[in-house]
A and B are shown apart, each in its own frame.
Chain A
Amino acid sequence: MKYIAITACPTGIAHTYMAAESLEKTAKELGHEIKVETQGAMGIENELTADDVKNSEAVIFAVDIAVEMADRFEGLPKIEVSVQDAIKDPKSIFEISPS
């Protein structure tokens, strides 16, 4: 499956990136495609474009705080989890049916 994702933790220093790494690693293991945008202390990195949104089947929000520019993903099926979930048990996230 083709996923896009946003990670965003409270201080934006560590967990944002750990969650991103975790999702990327797990997606690869499970044979999915994924592009992860991090919203951290350095701002937005690996920004998801309109094309990325068009070409994906679902978006994963692994966040503890509000997502910036969330309107980009209107209409796209969502999976909403916490940053901790993405770090602790990333496999189960890919088993959720997006809504």
Chain B
Amino acid sequence: MTLEYSFTCPLANGVHARPANNIEQVVSRFESEVTITNRANAKKANARSVLSIISSDIKCDEVCDVSISGPDEKEAFVSLQKFFEDDFEHCDDELETAESVADATMLPVSLINTGAKLYQGIAVSNGISKGILMNLGGFRVPQELEDQKDISVDDELCRYERAVQSVKDGLAVSLAGSHSKAEKSILQAHVSLVTDIELTDKIVGLIQQGGHNIAGAIRLAVSYFDDVLNKTGNPLLQERILDIQDVCDQLLHKVYGLSLQNDIALEQDTIGIADNLTPSQFLALDKSRLKGLVLCQAGTTSHTVILARSFGIPAITGIKGVIGLDRLGQPGILDGNVGVLVTNLNDDAERYFDRQIEVQKKLSQQNRQYLDSESLTADGKHLSVFSNISLSQECNSVFNDGAEGIGLFRTEMLYLASDEAPTEESQFESYRTLLEAAQGKPVIIRTLDIGGDKQVAYLDLPEEDNPFLGYRAVRIYKEYEALFTTQLRAILRASAYGKAQVMIPMISCVEEVVWVREKIEEVKSELAELKIDHDADLPLGIMVEIPSTAYMIDKFCQYVDFFSVGTNDLLQYFLGSDRSNKKLTSLNNPLHPSFLKLLRQIVEQAKRGQKWIGICGEMVSNPDWLPLVVGIGFDEISVSSPRIAEIKRRLSLIDSGRCAELVESLVSCETAAQVDQTVETFNANLFNDDILDEETILLDSSSRNKHEVIKEAVDNLYIHHRCTCPVQLESEIWQREQVYSTGLGHAIAIPHCRSAAVTSNSIAVVKLNDSVEWGSIDDKPVKIVIMLVIRDDDTDGTHMKIFSKLARKIMHEDFREALLNHSRSEELLEYFKNELEI
């Protein structure tokens, strides 16, 4: 007897993996055979196989017939009926609570206008580059494995069965330990997939009848299902290919273990895409070919991201949406300044980026003047501006960028980059090269910080539930004493060649420093005895990143020569908030008043002990917060080198006394927002450019349309430090345009806005070589554009009066004629100044 049931699919996205999974779970409780026939395409699906159900491609509103036959068909029928009536329509409910906590930063209006496809993420490494899109986490079966043909079919089937069981067990463990709904449902889907009848039948068939070994059978099976799912044209189903690949990848690993290589060869300029990459995986890639990196799941301070930055490779993380599989192999452009990946390139997009690269160049040129200057405040106080590096090879570029020293040399890269611990010799070479390249500039070498998210296979550190609070850095030195003393020896030997300083990470108590000093003295004695050159007075410092240390600075002063506050870790330990968790980005705010109080206290104590104290981390890369660093009293900041020029420029605008007053007023704030507001006001008063200047006048513009002109004018303001966020300003100019066009007729347009992005009220003038359409009142194109921008907090009114005077003048023909006729910027400037009385 066969029982029948029919249903109409209520799901907007059709029956994709999750609902297919739910159906399979109901059916798997029974013995009966259950077949689902999709009336729309006559496909029949075995309801015990998720893949089979997916392949029948049931779309929304399609009607399906279910036939059930077997010993427990009655019970199965009842359960299925209940499922289809009550639960089926809710299968997709979880989809609503999607992730995508990419920053609320906006994309440039002119970029959106090009019509290219845009994927927005968080910008983590600056630069713009072009390359072919390539999936770095792809599914690959090495040819050599497939070629191993001398196997017995029975053996292969046995190995396959064991691998399936092993993967299943592993998934069960992960499931039990998972707390995330999203993760659980993915793992559940994988469990269903790895035992899926269709998949198993396919692979077993290829082994038994096809004469393939497991590697070949898996490759062909994946390829087969790729095809089937691709044909459905449904992006949600196409995504499931990734799940199948993932599961098959796990199977391959179980069968072939270490012989499965992970090297990816880049054959052309590539923009690499992956969920995440470990530092070792990143280092193994050919950097000359890797033009950009998209790490969908990485946190903004992950070490791979840091590495990408130090190599000058543009990178973005936290990307929203799925990058369709058909985009791979196509050219794309990565903008690591704005945080967007651009595909489906067209002429407008290419031109947009050609021009954007020019803007970046101009910006760099602007910054050059600050590079060789000393870093002094307006009142002549010196703040050392150092830079961080992860590899000794980076030092030349950071010194070129204006660094006065190396504030932090992260040595763990030496440990992560290979399968075994680096030898004393190889370390000595690295440190010596660095010190020699520094030519007398100080270099602070931080001893290894292994553990946490930086694991090495050869140390066999235990797996931890909480690696950031775990057994790492100085905590492991005692157990791995030889490892530590080897590094000390290498550093001490290298110290003969330059100005080295050594720094210990993760110090939480005095005992640790005492032990470290003992070891340093031991190594010094050994070297002295062997008459090996070294700096007997090598300065010893510690990172201040653990709150307990912050409260004992006075005691530590007796044992160390200097301190460096590591704000990334100090902030996360102090606020109890994981810096890599995208959902907590807004919480990880260094402007928290408590944090500022903490920093002030640390510095006060260090000063009392007459010790030098520096600061590093994401916080100091923001030039807006420089007054805080200066006001609290740090001696040095260590930043990523592209920021140095802007930091030095901003430094020259601030008075250290006023900065100290600022910090005083901040510690009584209640919230980070209040602190932010106060700092903003402080910064606002620093900028007092003339409202109109030669630098704000652009003649001979080659912009071809309204979008390009507006962007050009805004970018020019940005280059001259008159606005902070060109994308935001551009957007606000356009918001005003949407109300009605600012094209007044007579070939003149007067775009304008009030904006928080403006730092100096400005009149920007653009004269075009070829007139552009502006949607003007008289429907005629525009030859001269006058952009007026004013700070949103402007209360003074002086500049507003100038704007209104200008607006009135524009209504007069003689004024307009004069504007169009003056062809040299000094003339134009003179004319404006006279007419507007400025």
Contacts and interface: CB of A to CB of B under 8 A. Distances in A.
Contact of B811 (A18, A42, A64): A18
A22 B750 CA distance: 16
B777 A84 contact: yes
A81 interface: no
Contacts of B740: 64, 84
Given A42-B797, A84-B777, A14 B807 contact: yes
A20 B809 CA distance: 11
Nearest to A11: B736
Interface in A22-37: 22, 25
B560 interface: no
A21 interface: yes
Given A41-B800, A42-B804, A13 B744 contact: no
A95 B675 CA distance: 57
B753 interface: yes
Contacts of A25: 811-812
Contacts of A42: 797, 800-801, 804
**Residue among A11, A14, A38 with the most chain B CB within 10 A?**
A14
Contact of A13 (B788, B797, B808): B788
B625 interface: no
Contact of A21 (B777, B778, B808): B808
A61 B750 CA distance: 23
A84 B754 CA distance: 20
Given A40-B804, A41-B800, A13 B810 contact: no
A20 to B, nearest CB: 7
A9 B803 CA distance: 14
A15 interface: yes
Contact of B808 (A10, A18, A84): A18
Contacts of B807: 13-18, 21
Nearest to A15: B807
Contacts of B15: none
Contacts of A88: 745, 777-778
Nearest to B744: A87
Contacts of B742: 14-15
A13 B811 contact: no
A13 B754 contact: yes
A88 B779 CA distance: 11
Contact of A14 (B745, B750, B777, B801): B750
A38 B803 CA distance: 14
Contact of B754 (A11, A16, A20, A87): A11
A95 B797 CA distance: 36
Interface string B343-372: 000000000000000000000000000000
A70 to B, nearest CB: 21
Contacts of A21: 807-808, 811-812
Contacts of B753: 11, 13
Nearest to B789: A13
Contacts of A16: 804, 807
B725 to A, nearest CB: 19
A11 to B, nearest CB: 6
B752 interface: yes
A14 B800 contact: no
A60 B723 CA distance: 38
A68 B708 CA distance: 37
B739 interface: yes
A13 B736 CA distance: 11
A62 B819 CA distance: 27
Contacts of A40: 800, 804
A56 B805 CA distance: 26
B790 interface: yes
Contacts of B808: 17-18, 20-21
Interface in B452-488: none
Interface in A53-98: 64, 84, 87-88
Contacts of A22: 811
**Residue among B745, B750, B804 with the most chain A CB within 10 A?**
B804
A18 B797 contact: no
A14 B742 CA distance: 9
A2 to B, nearest CB: 22
A13 B745 CA distance: 18
B779 to A, nearest CB: 11
Contacts of B810: 18
A78 to B, nearest CB: 22
Nearest to A20: B808
A72 B788 CA distance: 33
A41 B797 CA distance: 9
A18 B752 contact: no
A30 to B, nearest CB: 16
A25 B809 CA distance: 11
A10 B736 contact: yes
B336 to A, nearest CB: 33
B754 A10 contact: no
Contacts of B790: 13, 41
Contacts of B736: 10-11
B128 to A, nearest CB: 32
A31 to B, nearest CB: 19
B545 to A, nearest CB: 48
B788 A14 contact: yes
Interface in B767-816: 777-778, 788, 790, 797, 800-801, 803-808, 810-812
Contacts of A84: 740, 777
Interface in B255-288: none
B710 to A, nearest CB: 15
A92 to B, nearest CB: 14
Contacts of B803: 13-14, 17
Contacts of B805: 17
Contacts of A15: 742, 807
A42 B800 CA distance: 7
Interface in B716-751: 736, 739-740, 742, 744-745, 750
A20 B805 CA distance: 11
A11 B752 contact: yes
A20 B807 CA distance: 10
A86 B805 CA distance: 17
B748 to A, nearest CB: 11
Contact of B800 (A13, A18, A20): A13
A43 to B, nearest CB: 9
A17 B752 contact: no
A90 to B, nearest CB: 9
Interface in B802-835: 803-808, 810-812
A14 B744 CA distance: 11
A14 B754 contact: no
Contacts of A13: 752-754, 788, 790, 800, 803-804, 807
A54 to B, nearest CB: 28
Given A14-B807, A21-B808, A41 B754 contact: yes
B390 to A, nearest CB: 48
B777 A87 contact: yes
A5 B808 CA distance: 16
Contacts of B752: 11, 13-14
**Residue among B742, B790, B808 with the most chain A CB within 10 A?**
B808
A18 to B, nearest CB: 5
Nearest to A25: B811
Nearest to B741: A84
A18 B754 contact: no
B464 to A, nearest CB: 57
Contacts of A14: 742, 750, 752, 788, 803-804, 806-807
A40 B800 CA distance: 10
A10 B788 contact: no
15 contacts: A11-B753, A11-B754, A13-B753, A13-B788, A13-B800, A14-B803, A15-B807, A16-B804, A17-B804, A17-B807, A18-B808, A40-B804, A41-B754, A64-B739, A88-B745
Given A13-B754, A20-B808, 8 more contacts: A13-B788, A13-B790, A14-B742, A17-B803, A17-B804, A25-B812, A38-B804, A41-B754
- What 3 A-B pairs are tightest by C-beta distance, nearest first? A17-B807, A21-B808, A17-B804
